Amino acid sequence: MMIKANNPDLESWIEVQNGNDFPIQNIPFGVVELKNGKTRCASRIGNYVIDLYAISSYGYFDNLGIDDLRVFKEPTLNNFIAQGQPAWRAIRERISYLFSKENPLIRDNIEEKSKILHHILDVKMMMPVAVGDYTDFYSSIEHATNVGKMFRDPENALLPNWKHIPVGYHGRSSSIVVSGTSIHRPKGQTKADDELSPAFGPSKLFDFELEMAFIAGKQSKLGDSISVSDAENHIFGLVLFNDLSARDIQKWEYVPLGPFLSKNFGSVISPWIVTLDALEPFRVNGPIQDPKVLPYLEFEGKKNFDINLEVFIQPENGEKNSVCRSNFKYMYWNMAQQLAHHTINGCNINVGDMYGSGTISGPTPDSFGSMMELSWKGTRPVKLKDGTERKFIQDNDTIIMTGFCRNNNLRIGFGETITKILPAK
Ligand code: MN
């Protein structure tokens, strides 16, 4: 399928600097708060935000299959997304057309331009969707293997189900927040191996999880299943996802029903949802799945995406330290398989639901997607530029995640997920 807006030769009349995540081929979707306090659905080119309600009020989105243009002044993208894939595609194509270098319609209209465009520094990024349900998978074979080696049996690191089922659990949506939101270190019960009873206090083993998350763009009915081949039509787009975790709380509480309070005190997403369409040029093959999966999980074609991921730790008043470089392409189970598995029992999904990939670790020690793996359970501290070491995250550290795709002629990025960790309340 050829998507016109993805043409790598297109240039915008909005200046886009080299290395910027948001060239005219990206056209992500988000929600901003303007200086006047109003909330708007938005897109972005370079360092400029496009107010989708303002642009639609001049008639530029007429006859594109959106019944009511007021969806663009709602505080979330949910009702825009619910208009369906043909509408998202039409809006993306229209933005591409309007902002192409040679198109004078808005470029040469000072009045309209001033109402439609805002510099990124003049808006506040908001949570882009109301997340109904949130599911977290566990789909990186390197991550699952590392965890198995550290906590169970190095010889049989993967549990017997792992290569047959995209393992996941139901998380909590109320505490999913947008980049820039600070999170307090959680308190809870922990039990040291050499103690008989648990203790209560701030988590000592506070960690990030480097993940991507996809956002459902199409509802399914209770009782119905989504096939692997149809699954991508149910995906609106992706964000970076920092799934904060308290390892010591998790270790004590997770038996037998899985993580609970160790995972639901804050998870942070990047504010711009990059559409699956924009990622089309970056499809790659995933790892070979052996043993063969059951028929309902079989797929054809390239279902993984080459997205470079990086994590930085920035101590208070200090420099950024790169601690991990990984890639979304390492995922053993792809998003289409995750969604097909999720619905194979008839579980219905809703627009705005969010699905975390699970921690994305790569094959080398510098590509592990959590402090638990990077410091190997605290046995190999990570050195920072200021001379300090980290086994886990300290109070007032800021965790920054970035992600972008790149080929010879195009860079499509996600921006950042920035999270400062505050002391326990
Ligand atoms: Mn997670």
**First-last CA distance in the chain:** 52
Q: What mean pLDDT is reported for the chain?
A: 97
The count of domains in the chain is 2
Last residue of a domain, one of 125, 142, 159: 125
Centre of ligand 1 to C-alpha 4, Å, is 35
CA distance 321 to 339: 35
Say if residue 139 is in the same domain as residue 119. Answer: no
Say if residue 330 is in the same domain as residue 370. Answer: yes
Centre of ligand 1 to C-alpha 355, Å, is 10
Residue 393 is given by DSSP the state P
Which residues does the annotation mark as catalytic?
143
pLDDT band at 359 (very low <50, low <70, confident <90, very high): very high
Say if residue 121 is in the same domain as residue 188. Answer: no
pLDDT for residue 308? 98
Centre of ligand 1 to C-alpha 346, Å, is 24
Centre of ligand 1 to C-alpha 306, Å, is 20
pLDDT tens, residue by residue, 270-298: 999 999 999 999 999 999 999 999 999 99
Q: Which is nearest to 259 in space by CA: 244, 249, 267, 274? A: 249
CATH number of the domain within which 19 lies: 2.30.30.230
Q: Residue 319 burial by CB count (10 A; 0-12/13-18/19+): exposed, middle or buried?
A: exposed
CB 310 within 8 A of CB 362: no
pLDDT at 122 > cutoff 70: yes
Centre of ligand 1 to C-alpha 228, Å, is 23
pLDDT tens, residue by residue, 23-70: 999 999 999 999 999 999 999 999 999 999 999 999 999 999 898 999
CB 295 within 8 A of CB 228: no
Stretch 349-370: mean pLDDT, rounded? 98
Percent of the chain past pLDDT 70, that is, above it, reads 100
Centre of ligand 1 to C-alpha 383, Å, is 24
- Looking at the DSSP bridge assignments, the partners of residue 416 are 402
Last residue of a domain, one of 125, 149, 170: 125
Alpha-carbon torsion, ordered 172, 174, 176, 178, to 10 deg = 170
Q: Which is nearest to 22 in space by CA: 307, 306, 402, 415? A: 415
Token readout for 364 is 């080398």
Say if residue 150 is in the same domain as residue 251. Answer: yes
Say if residue 32 is in the same domain as residue 74. Answer: yes
Q: Which is nearest to 354 in space by CA: 168, 161, 144? A: 168
pLDDT tens, residue by residue, 138-188: 999 999 999 999 988 999 999 999 999 999 999 999 999 999 999 999 999
Centre of ligand 1 to C-alpha 273, Å, is 19
pTM (two decimals): 0.98
CA distance 153 to 121: 50
Stretch 205-210: mean pLDDT, rounded? 98
CB 27 within 8 A of CB 95: yes
Say if residue 155 is in the same domain as residue 102. Answer: no
- What does residue 382 show for φ and ψ, rounded to 5 degrees? -90, 125
User: Tokens 């000072």 sit at which residue?
Assistant: 110
User: Tokens 């959680």 sit at which residue?
Assistant: 186
User: Tokens 């790149």 sit at which residue?
Assistant: 406
Q: Residue 356 burial by CB count (10 A; 0-12/13-18/19+): exposed, middle or buried?
A: buried
Say if residue 120 is in the same domain as residue 154. Answer: no
User: Which one-letter amino acid corresponds to residue 33?
Assistant: E
Q: Which is nearest to 61 in space by CA: 38, 39, 80, 34? A: 80
CA distance 371 to 48: 35
Q: What is the DSSP string of 233-274?
A: GGEEEEEEEEE-EEHHHHHHH-TTT--STTTSS-EEE-SPBE
Centre of ligand 1 to C-alpha 402, Å, is 17
CB 283 within 8 A of CB 302: yes
Say if residue 222 is in the same domain as residue 308. Answer: yes
Neighbours of 202 (CB within 10 A): 18
With residues binned 3-state (H G I as helix, E B as strand, rest as coil), the percentages for the chain, rounded to 5, are: 25, 30, 50
Say if residue 112 is in the same domain as residue 23. Answer: yes
pLDDT for residue 1? 65
pLDDT band at 115 (very low <50, low <70, confident <90, very high): very high
Say if residue 120 is in the same domain as residue 140. Answer: no
> Which structural domain range is residue 323 located in?
134-422
- Looking at the DSSP bridge assignments, the partners of residue 41 are 31
CA distance 382 to 391: 6
Centre of ligand 1 to C-alpha 278, Å, is 25
Q: Which is nearest to 355 in space by CA: 167, 205, 133? A: 133
Say if residue 166 is in the same domain as residue 39. Answer: no
CATH number of the domain within which 401 lies: 3.90.850.10
Last residue of a domain, one of 82, 107, 125: 125
Say if residue 244 is in the same domain as residue 320. Answer: yes
- What does residue 247 show for φ and ψ, rounded to 5 degrees? -65, -35
pLDDT band at 2 (very low <50, low <70, confident <90, very high): confident
Tell me: cis bond preceding 291? Omega within 30 of 0 counts: yes
